[in-house]
């Protein structure tokens, strides 16, 4: 189905255990994350896996966030491996949360795009 940012706002309540739009908490601030280079929220201390993905060219889009949220570790390791950095595709992201429901992933990605 199409993406629904209003439904995504409700899904985002699950993210708020760790994230806010405008400040770092357990997770980095997510305002402006769509279009942002991975691993670059000011003042947040990222895992090497997340940091290296940004250095290797990962820029967050709605599409790649939809894939990432299903399995953040698998997504980041595949990204680095595909970019020729298999040596960096080790360790674990600090983002331990997964969102299995694809419609919820689509909706929350649309909501994230509204956070400027
Ligand atoms: C990182 C989204 C839920 C903890 C991230 C990033 C995104 C994201 C896009 C990468 C940010 C960047 O590169 O600047 C979301 C969404 C969630 C969610 C949309 C809900 C659907 C959670 C939850 C937790 C969490 C529940 C804590 C249990 C973290 C942490 C990082 C992170 C610690 C940094 C990862 C690292 O440095 O390896 N999240 N997240 N997230 N998230 Fe989440």
- Dihedral sign from CA coordinates of 39, 4, 66, 72: positive
Which residue's CA lies nearest to atom 41 of ligand 1?
Answer: 95
Using CA atoms, how far apart are residues 112 and 78, in angstroms rounded to an integer? Answer: 23
Split into its structural domains, the chain has a count of 1
The answer to whether 21 touches 100, Cβ cutoff 8 Å, is no
pLDDT of residue 100: 98
pTM for the structure as a whole:
0.98
Full domain range(s) for residue 74 = 5-112
Mean pLDDT for each consecutive 10-residue tract of the chain (116 residues)? 96 98 98 98 98 98 98 98 98 98 98 96
pLDDT of residue 1: 84
Using CA atoms, how far apart are residues 95 and 47, in angstroms rounded to an integer? Answer: 9
What CATH number does the domain containing 95 carry?
A: 1.10.760.10
Q: Best substitution site from 10, 19, 80, 98 to test ligand 1's pocket, by max atoms within 8 Å of Cβ?
A: 19
**Complex ipTM above 0.90?**
yes
Which residue's CA lies nearest to atom 40 of ligand 1?
Answer: 15
pLDDT of residue 35: 98
Burial of residue 107 (CB within 10 Å: 0-12, 13-18, 19+) is buried
């Amino acid at each position: 189905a199409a993406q629904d940012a209003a439904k995504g706002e409700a899904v985002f309540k699950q993210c708020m255990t760790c994230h806010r739009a405008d400040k770092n908490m357990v997770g980095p601030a997510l305002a402006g994350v769509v279009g942002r280079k991975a691993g670059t929220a000011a003042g947040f201390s990222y895992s090497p896996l997340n940091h290296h993905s940004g250095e290797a060219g990962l820029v967050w889009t709605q599409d790649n966030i939809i894939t990432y949220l299903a399995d953040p570790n698998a997504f980041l390791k595949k990204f680095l491996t595909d970019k020729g950095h298999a040596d960096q595709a080790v360790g674990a992201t600090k983002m331990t949360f997964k969102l299995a429901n694809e419609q919820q992933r689509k909706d929350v990605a649309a909501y994230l795009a509204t956070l400027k």
